[in-house]
């Protein structure tokens, strides 16, 4: 199997991608006490093998979020992640985070966004920032502010809007007003859908105007929905290990990669939360190549799909296409 050196990650949460080395640095920088042993720290950062569902998985974000409550913490976390991605062979990433989750120590959402953008810029990695609204019962004002700031910073490092969180507890349908406003402001958006909730969540996201779907694997349960995804060329941001950790699938034999590919759906491969899951984008490709016997041409097509699905500028997309073709011409 060839070693990939020009990968793309379109579904990557900042708070789910704090490596052990980064966590130690961020804790020292902000005078936050953390466990001394790697074993104890890893237990805080990584989900247990017996995780039973998405809700339990989401509990793992409490500790890394505590490291993202200052300008210094956010900027350095973004810088560390981007430099780690470069070392892994990632040529472009779209990093997402919820600025409202970094306001526990009086930071504003705007300040949080500016800090992450500064860290990304300092790293030199071509990257877009996706701002997440959150599924919750009492954060309507915070979500509206996120939408407003997304519009303000769109094209200035920010590339899109998202909705994340406990999908089964807070259904996609409850958040229509956010995406009406996003469309009014000309903000492209992806929505986490069809992960903990079923096909109806994906259908709802499409009806809102989502141009990509985060996860979307439950669409495999509905033939007409798969036809719509293919016809409208809506990319799915697949995250295999994440779906195993949240117990959507017991193993990869049930993962619908082949089903989606055979139906002409634009699928992409991503990590979601690499530190929490103990994975990398290269490992995600390796898992799928082994499980589904992907050919070199199929892997190249998956990489091409990520280019086309990205919110990157056209000139950058062309450069990424050239890199992929050069790698597979060797």
* Tens of pLDDT, residues 166-190: 999 999 999 999 999 999 999 999 9
268 is written with which tokens?
Answer: 């992409």
| 43 vs 308, residue with greater confidence | 308
Q: Which two tokens stand for residue 216?
A: 């979307």
| Domain assignment present for 2 | no
Q: Is the separation of the CB atoms in 307 and 321 below 8 Å?
A: yes
| pLDDT recorded at residue 60 | 78
| Inter-residue contact 10 to 281 (CB < 8 Å) | no
Catalytic residues: 195
**Interval 194-206 mean pLDDT:** 96
Mean pLDDT of 291-298: 96
Q: b vs e for 82-118, b when ≥16 Cβ sit within 10 Å of the residue's Cβ?
A: bbbbeebebbbbbbbbbbbbbbeeebebebbbbbbbb
pLDDT on residue 330: 67
Distance CA 16, CA 62 (A): 10
Of 55-59, 115-119, 178-182, give the lowest mean pLDDT range.
55-59
- Output the pTM of the full model: 0.96
**For 255-277, what is the mean pLDDT?**
97
DSSP string over 303-321: HHHHHHHS---HHHHHHHH
Among candidate residues 158, 192, 324, the one with its CA nearest the CA of residue 270: 192
State the residue range of the domain holding 281: 7-329
What is the rounded CA–CA span in Å between residue 320 and residue 262?
Answer: 25
- Phi first, then psi, for residue 321 (nearest 5°) are -60, -45
User: How would residue 111 be classed by pLDDT, with cut points 50, 70 and 90?
Assistant: very high
Mean pLDDT of 197-209: 97
Mean pLDDT over each residue of the chain, to the nearest integer:
95
- Is 1 within a domain? no
Per-residue model confidence as pLDDT tens digits over 59-92: 878 899 999 999 999 999 999 999 999 999 999 9
Residue 55 has pLDDT above 80, yes or no: no
CA 68 to chain centre: 17
pLDDT at residue 278, rounded to an integer: 93
Quick check: is 236 in a domain?
Answer: yes
For position 257, which CATH number holds?
3.20.20.140
Is residue 72 within 8 A of residue 25, CB to CB? The reply is: no
170 lies in a domain? Answer: yes
pLDDT of residue 57: 78
What is the number of domains present in the chain?
Answer: 1
Domain assignment present for 75: yes
Q: What average pLDDT score do residues 105-127 get?
A: 97
What pLDDT does residue 329 have?
Answer: 87
């Amino acid at each position: 199997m060839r070693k990939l050196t020009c990968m793309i990650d379109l579904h990557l949460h900042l708070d789910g991608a704090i490596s052990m080395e980064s966590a130690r640095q961020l804790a020292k920088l902000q005078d936050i006490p953390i466990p001394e042993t790697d074993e104890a720290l890893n237990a805080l950062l990584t989900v247990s093998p017996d995780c039973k569902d998405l809700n339990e998985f989401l509990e793992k974000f409490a500790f890394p979020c505590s490291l993202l409550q200052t300008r210094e913490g956010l900027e350095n976390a973004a810088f560390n992640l981007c430099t780690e991605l470069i070392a892994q062979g990632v040529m472009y990433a779209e990093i997402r985070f919820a600025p409202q989750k970094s306001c526990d120590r009086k930071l504003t959402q705007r300040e949080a966004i500016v800090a992450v953008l500064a860290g990304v810029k300092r790293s030199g990695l071509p990257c877009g920032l996706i701002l997440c609204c959150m599924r919750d019962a009492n954060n309507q004002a915070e979500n509206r502010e996120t939408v407003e700031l997304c519009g303000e910073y769109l094209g200035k490092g920010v590339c899109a809007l998202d909705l994340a969180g406990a999908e089964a507890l807070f259904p996609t349908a409850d958040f229509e007003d956010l995406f009406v406003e996003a469309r009014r402001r000309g903000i492209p958006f992806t929505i986490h859908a069809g992960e903990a909730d079923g096909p109806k969540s994906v259908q709802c996201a499409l009806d809102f105007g989502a141009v990509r779907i985060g996860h979307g694997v439950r669409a495999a349960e509905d033939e007409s929905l798969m036809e719509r995804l293919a016809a409208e060329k809506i990319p799915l941001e697949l995250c295999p290990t994440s779906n195993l950790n949240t117990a959507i699938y017991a193993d990869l034999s049930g993962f619908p990669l082949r089903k989606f590919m055979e139906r002409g759906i634009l699928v992409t491969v991503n990590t979601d939360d690499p530190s929490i899951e103990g994975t990398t984008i290269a490992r995600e490709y390796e898992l799928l190549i082994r499980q589904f016997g992907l050919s070199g041409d199929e892997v190249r097509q998956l990489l091409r799909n990520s280019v086309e699905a990205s919110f990157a500028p056209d000139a950058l997309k062309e450069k990424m296409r050239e890199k992929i073709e050069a790698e597979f011409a060797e």
